[in-house]
Structures are given as structure tokens and as C-alpha cells.
């Protein structure tokens, strides 16, 4: 049996990596570029640093969009697209976490493919090749800089949907761990738990293969070792560097293997209640993994061994070791419960109905998930 492993991106990683930007822009012969970011990136001074590098390119016309919001909507994508079209940009630079990079990916689809963006929800529906996109991550979690996925909110249907297509993968990544230094502990822990979710869900996904599994398990090892350190001391640059590297390694894995039940719940929570993506994943992750363990005991034990958890030799018991460890991590990192994030038990029925509509469930190893199963997970995470 054969399998495919897609790798697309030209990656520059490490301290002062941003200095590669002018050369990339020149090699692509870009004359008009749009830079996409949010208020946090602006406040941290990162946008200014990137724009400094762009100013080194003679004659480059730069259009700035600095109004990206968390959980980008179809309306936001349309708004940015109209500006990009009017300015006739030839490429994009996206600076930020998942929201900025996901927004630029979606806008880039519309530059060469007819809208609306909602038409591309699903796998492999983008027809035309996209413009160059340079992703500059400022968080360590979503891996959006390296993946073929963009997650958007459909405000009409009240759901989060994903466009999955190799064509939307950023052309270049410039990853400088220094850009994650100013991330506050709450964002570091939430985005880091998102990264752990990617590693675990992609490892047990029914789309995984030996290459994706290698990436997922390496990512998990790194996150398990360094996440707590990065949260406790944001200036611990060894931890910051490893977290960023882990996200790229894991991103290669889950771009190919996809995700599962945790993300199905997280997308629904974000669509209805605006929960930040990482937080939404983190609060249900341990319970979903305990639920999944029943059908992939061997894989769960492999993951537990990878992070040196003590095992008893009893297979059923050992398959739950990782979910227990993840629960301990969420407590140590002060991840909020669903009730602490404003969710009410009376919301569970509606949420469960929508979780079951999530296409990402197709990749979850345990199939036949019922409404009662979803409500049971939500109750445990309450
Ligand atoms: Zn995620």
C-alpha cells in the first residue's frame, strides 16, 4: 500500500530569520504586497519590525490590513479581499497567530478563484494556483504557517468550517522564536495545548501513516517537555524555540493526517460562543482521549511511552495514562473549564447536534459517535 506526504513550504527558522524577508520578496519579484495582522501584533512591535525589513525592498508598495479578529468570519475575509483586489496586490505577508495566517490564506483563495469563500469549505475544492504567501508566526500552536488548512466562521450557519487544500499552504515561512517572547502566559498555554491536541489527534487519526506519525510523536515529545517552561517564563528562549519548532514538525504531520473529535467540539464552541481555539480544545482534550482510547489502545500506549509516563503492563489501564497526564497538564496550566468559559449545561443539547455535523469527525479513530457521547464529554469538561 502506498501513501502520500505533502511538503510545500520554504522555511527559514531561528533568531533573526526575519532578515530573509527582503530576499524572498525580491526573488518572487513582487511589487505590490499586502501585510495582514492584528492589534496584538501591532502592540508588540512585531509588525513594525517586519515592515522595517520590507522597506529595504526598493519600490515595494505595501498595503497594510491590521484589523484581523480572533475566529475570522466570512465577512472579514470579504472585507480584506476587497482591499487586496483594489490595490491589485501580487502576494501576502501574514504576521500572527492562526487568525491572521488563516485570514490571509482565505483571502488568497479569492484572489485567483471566484467567491464566495464559503464555496471552498471541504477538501481539495480550490481550482487555481494562489499568489505567494509568506507566513510569519507569532504564536506556537496552530501550525497555520505550515498547514494546508484555514478555519473560518460562517456567521449565517453559525459554524466553523475548514478549507483544506494543498494550494493554500503558505509558500514561505519565516519563524523567529523571538516573535513569541511577548505572548502572555494564558495565550502560551492555550496555543500550546492546541499544539498538543494536533500531535495527539493526528497520531491516532485514521489518515495517519508512518511519516505523519513520526512528526506527531516528535511534536508531542517537544511540547510535553517545553510547554510548561514557556508558560512559566516567557523569556525562556530555549523553551520558546522548541515550542515553535514542535509546531512546524507537528504541522507537517497533521496537514497530512488531519484531526478528530476534539477539534469537532472546539470548532462548535468557537462558532457559538467565540471561545479561543486553543482553550476550546484544551478543556475537552483529556476526556476525548479517554473516550478514544478504547479503540486505539496501542497508539495511546505508544504516545504515553514517548513522553516517559509510568505504565503498569495492564493494556486497558495504560491506554488511559496519556489522557490522565493531559488532564494534569490542563490543571497545571490553569485551562478554564467550560462553565468557567461561560458555557451553560442548557447549551449542551444544541452543541451536541452541531458537533455531530463536523466533517473532521470522519478522521477520528473511534467512529459511531452519538449525541449522548458528545454530551458526556461536555459534562466531564464542565
Ligand atoms: Zn487546532
Q: If you measure from the C-alpha of residue 222 to the centroid of ligand 1, how many angstroms do you get, rounded to a whole number?
A: 17
Beta strands 133-137 and 172-175 are: parallel
Q: Are 165 and 147 in contact (CB under 8 A)?
A: no
Res 7 pLDDT > 90: no
For residue 11, the SS3 value is: strand
pLDDT 10s digits, 8-22: 899 999 999 999 999
Q: If you measure from the C-alpha of residue 195 to the centroid of ligand 1, how many angstroms do you get, rounded to a whole number?
A: 7
pTM of the model: 0.94
- 285-293 helix and 371-380 helix, angle to the nearest 10 degrees: 130
Q: If you measure from the C-alpha of residue 228 to the centroid of ligand 1, how many angstroms do you get, rounded to a whole number?
A: 19
Q: If you measure from the C-alpha of residue 277 to the centroid of ligand 1, how many angstroms do you get, rounded to a whole number?
A: 6
pLDDT 10s digits, 295-311: 999 999 999 999 999 99
Torsion (CA) 261, 265, 271, 273 in degrees, nearest 10: -160
> Average pLDDT over the chain, rounded to whole?
96
Confidence band of 277 (pLDDT split at 50, 70, 90) = very high
Q: If you measure from the C-alpha of residue 190 to the centroid of ligand 1, how many angstroms do you get, rounded to a whole number?
A: 10
pLDDT 10s digits, 231-250: 999 999 999 999 999 999 99
Q: If you measure from the C-alpha of residue 221 to the centroid of ligand 1, how many angstroms do you get, rounded to a whole number?
A: 18
The string of DSSP letters for 128-166 reads SPPPPEEEEE-SSSS-TTT-SEEEEEETTTTEEEEEE-G
Same fold, 10-180 and 185-380: no
Q: How far is CA 249 from CA 101, 193, 199, 243, in A?
A: 18, 15, 9, 10
Q: If you measure from the C-alpha of residue 80 to the centroid of ligand 1, how many angstroms do you get, rounded to a whole number?
A: 23
Helix (H) / strand (E) containing 335: none
Measured between alpha carbons, how far is 192 from 313 in angstroms, rounded to an integer?
30
Looking at residue 327, what is its pLDDT? 97
Q: Which CATH class is domain 10-180?
A: alpha beta
Residue owning grid cell 473549564: 337
Looking at residue 1, what is its pLDDT? 83
The string of DSSP letters for 165-210 reads -GGGS-SEEEE-GGGGTT--HHHHHHHHHHHHHHHHHHHHSTT--H
Question: Is domain 185-380 given the CATH code 1.20.1090.10 in the classification?
Answer: yes
Of all residues in the chain, what percent carry a pLDDT higher than 90? 96
Q: How many CB atoms lie within 10 A of CB 129?
A: 8
Q: If you measure from the C-alpha of residue 291 to the centroid of ligand 1, how many angstroms do you get, rounded to a whole number?
A: 19
pLDDT 10s digits, 59-92: 999 999 999 999 999 999 999 999 999 999 999 9
For range 107-111, the mean pLDDT = 98
Domain boundaries, the chain: 10-180, 185-380
Q: How many CB atoms lie within 10 A of CB 99?
A: 26
Q: If you measure from the C-alpha of residue 257 to the centroid of ligand 1, how many angstroms do you get, rounded to a whole number?
A: 13
Amino acid at each position: 500500500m502506498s501513501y502520500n506526504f505533502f511538503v510545500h513550504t520554504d522555511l527559514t527558522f531561528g533568531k533573526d530569520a526575519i532578515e530573509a524577508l527582503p530576499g524572498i520578496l525580491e526573488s518572487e519579484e513582487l511589487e505590490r504586497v499586502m501585510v495582514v495582522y492584528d492589534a496584538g501584533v501591532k502592540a508588540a512591535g512585531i509588525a513594525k519590525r517586519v515592515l522595517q525589513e520590507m522597506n529595504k525592498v526598493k519600490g515595494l508598495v505595501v498595503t497594510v490590513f491590521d484589523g484581523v479578529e480572533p475566529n475570522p468570519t466570512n465577512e472579514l475575509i470579504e472585507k480584506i479581499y476587497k482591499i487586496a483586489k483594489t490595490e491589485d496586490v501580487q502576494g501576502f505577508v501574514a504576521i500572527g497567530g492562526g487568525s491572521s495566517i488563516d485570514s490571509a490564506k482565505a483571502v488568497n483563495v479569492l484572489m485567483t478563484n471566484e467567491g464566495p469563500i464559503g464555496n471552498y469549505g471541504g477538501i481539495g475544492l480550490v481550482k487555481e494556483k494562489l499568489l505567494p504567501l509568506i507566513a510569519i508566526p507569532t504564536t506556537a500552536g496552530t501550525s497555520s504557517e505550515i498547514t494546508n488548512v484555514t478555519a473560518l466562521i460562517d456567521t449565517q450557519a453559525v459554524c466553523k468550517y475548514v478549507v483544506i487544500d494543498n494550494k493554500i499552504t503558505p509558500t514561505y515561512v519565516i519563524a523567529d522564536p523571538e516573535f513569541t517572547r511577548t505572548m502572555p502566559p494564558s495565550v502560551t498555554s492555550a496555543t500550546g495545548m492546541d499544539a498538543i491536541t494536533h500531535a495527539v489527534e493526528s497520531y491516532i487519526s485514521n489518515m495517519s501513516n508512518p511519516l505523519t506519525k513520526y512528526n506527531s510523536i516528535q511534536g508531542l515529545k517537544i511540547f510535553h517537555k517545553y510547554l510548561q517552561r514557556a508558560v512559566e517564563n516567557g523569556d525562556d528562549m530555549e523553551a520558546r524555540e522548541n515550542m515553535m519548532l514542535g509546531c512546524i514538525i507537528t504541522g507537517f504531520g497533521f496537514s497530512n493526517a488531519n484531526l478528530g473529535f476534539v477539534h469537532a467540539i472546539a470548532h462548535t464552541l468557537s462558532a457559538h460562543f467565540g471561545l479561543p481555539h486553543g482553550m476550546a480544545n484544551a478543556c475537552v482534550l483529556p476526556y476525548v482521549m479517554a473516550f478514544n482510547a478504547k479503540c486505539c489502545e496501542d497508539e495511546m500506549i505508544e504516545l504515553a511511552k514517548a513522553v516517559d509516563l509510568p505504565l503498569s503492563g495492564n493494556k486497558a489501564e495504560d491506554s488511559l495514562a496519556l489522557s490522565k497526564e493531559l488532564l494534569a497538564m490542563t490543571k497545571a496550566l490553569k485551562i478554564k473549564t467550560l462553565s468557567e468559559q461561560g458555557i451553560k449545561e442548557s447549551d449542551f443539547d444544541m452543541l451536541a447536534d452541531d458537533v455531530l455535523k463536523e466533517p473532521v469527525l470522519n478522521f477520528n479513530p473511534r467512529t459511531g459517535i452519538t449525541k449522548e457521547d458528545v454530551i458526556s464529554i461536555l459534562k466531564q469538561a464542565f
